[in-house]
Amino acid sequence: MYVGTQIRPRDDGDYRVWAQLGVRHVCVDPPGDPHQWTLDDLRRHKDHVESFGLSLDMVQLPLSSRPIEEAESPHILLGKEPERQREIDSICGLIERLAAAGIPAAKYNLCIVGIPRTEREAGRGGSRNAAFRWSRADQTAPPGKAGILSEEENWERIDHFLGAVVPVATAAKVRLACHPHDPYTPPGYRGITRVLGTVDGLKRFVQMHESPYHGLNFCQGTIAEMLDDPASEIFEVIRWFGEREKIFNVHFRNIKGRKLDFMEAFPDEGDMDMARSLAAYRDVGYPYMLMPDHVPQIDGRDPSGVAFAYCYGYIQALIDALVPRQNSIGHA
């Protein structure tokens, strides 16, 4: 396992900075509409990324974390034909082009209501941190474009999608990494019962249409947001999915709090023991990227760049701290 990033580069200078910091594995998209990415577009993009000494490990399918009203492929989760089939066919073609371009993985979301948050809160040194307090949320917010969506219907639409794309990904040998619903919300919130916002839901998900190319973009922060006691429960969740080789990418982030009552934090200051978490990933043989995500807003001339650079160094230091133990017990 190794440090990675999914930050959109502002220009080529960011590629150079990542290489200089030792962040050599990236998830970065080509410009333009993903539905329109040609094989030549993907190959040019991969060559450009690799010209900086980086490895293009992953891209994002046109299924993001944005609300359904802003989604690139809305009809997949709206269940509306024939638009749904056109979007699915487009994604299947994209997966095949990723394989032809030598891009081994893609991440995606099956998200309708976006990423609900309440107002930001003060963090360490006056940073501004994202939070979600159910007591402060608009619990009576009306349904949006998707209307009322039951648990059963949500699962049916997810099953339909997986039934179409997983065989294509398996044949192409492209890993598909789905992000959990962030955060857990009670059934019926904004009309939607979100089924990938619980550990049991994620277990069901990865066992549908079983394939070594069907797994998770395992956001540790989002998983923590599903738990009553993240500090003690997270390690068993890592083990369950890791032992089944269902973790294809890790968002290595931390929170303070618990289900329905949390603030995001820098990885070293949250409730989860991130060194112990990293050891859990190592113990299950996790072999891919560990990347920061959702960093607090800080001050300075390049606040985002500095905050992420801090997290890259923190993750690399934890990995380095495990090396002597790895050697002593015979792991590569």
Q: What is the pLDDT of residue 324?
A: 65
Q: Is 331 a domain residue? A: no
| pLDDT, position 328 | 40
Which among 152, 150, 228 is positioned nearest to 189, based on CA atoms?
150
Q: What one-letter code names the amino acid at 132?
A: F
pTM: 0.95
Evaluate whether residue 180 is within a structural domain: yes
Answer yes or no: is 332 within a domain: no
Q: What is the C-alpha to C-alpha distance for residues 198 and 89, in angstroms, rounded to an integer?
A: 29
**How many structural domains does the chain have?**
1
Dump strand ranges (E) for the chain.
2-5, 25-27, 55-60, 105-109, 118-122, 128-133, 175-179, 214-219, 247-251, 254-258, 261-265, 289-291
Structural contact between residues 274 and 264, judged by C-beta atoms closer than 8 angstroms: no
Residue 327 is predicted with a pLDDT of: 47
| Domain membership flag for residue 274 | yes
**What pLDDT score was predicted for residue 325?**
53
Strand order in the sheet with 261-265: 118-122, 128-133, 261-265, 254-258
Q: Does residue 124 fall inside a structural domain? A: yes
Q: Give the model's pLDDT for residue 330.
A: 40
CATH number at residue 183: 3.20.20.150
Q: Domain range holding 319?
A: 2-326
What are the DSSP calls for 139-206, one per residue? TTPPP-TT--B-HHHHHHHHHHHHHHHHHHHHHHT-EEEEEPPSS---TTBTTB--TTSSHHHHHHHH
At 4, the amino acid letter reads G
pLDDT averaged over 10-residue windows placed end to end, the chain, 332 residues: 97 98 98 97 98 98 96 96 98 98 98 96 98 96 95 98 98 98 97 97 98 98 98 98 98 98 98 98 98 97 97 97 59 42
